[in-house]
Copies of this chain bind each other. A is one copy, B any other.
Amino acid sequence: MKITLLTIGKSAFPFVKEGLAMYEKRIARYTTYERIEIPALSGTSSLSSTEVKEKEGELILKKIKPSDEVILLDERGRSYSSIEWAHFLEKRLNNSTKSIVFVIGGAYGFSEKVYQAATSKLSLSDMTFSHQIIRLFFTEQLYRAFTIIKGEPYHNE
């Protein structure tokens, strides 16, 4: 299993980058993991919000292969407990040809085409978190899932 985290927008805050680096180093012990950051179009152009969403959607779709399982991080997605989430990943873990791409959208969300290309939607919280913070939450939960799957202690330090 290979896991990719695809984000619209670069990781802006130093603390987010540091946190991501820490959890990604831990995740690398368990699976092949890659983060791809697509620069955001919002704020950089004279496009409308719909146009930004469409164009960012095209950039997302370019990075996705037809065989990929595509999971959007979306407020309207399904909520999991950490244990359910670990089971979700565990089912896919022994399939070495499987690639899962998790996608964090831009400021205006996903285009209809991206929704159509997606296999499912995952919600980390009922609350809305910034696109910066959510990537940190996601990688922490990915690390946590592997400690649950492998029955290993979660390192809080």
Give me the interface of A with B, judged by CB distance under 8 Å.
Answer: 12-16, 18-19, 22, 79-82, 85, 107, 124-133, 136-137, 140-141, 144, 154, 156-157
Contacts and interface: CB of A to CB of B under 8 A. Distances in A.
Given A19-B19, A133-B137, A137-B137, A156 B126 contact: no
A79 B128 CA distance: 12
Nearest to A141: B127
A22 B18 contact: no
5 contacts: A12-B156, A13-B22, A16-B19, A79-B126, A129-B141
Given A133-B136, A136-B136, 5 more contacts: A15-B16, A82-B128, A125-B126, A125-B127, A127-B144
B124 A125 contact: yes
Contacts of A130: 140, 144, 154, 156
Given A81-B126, A82-B128, A133-B137, A15 B18 contact: yes
A12 B15 CA distance: 13
A127 B125 CA distance: 8
A125 B123 CA distance: 9
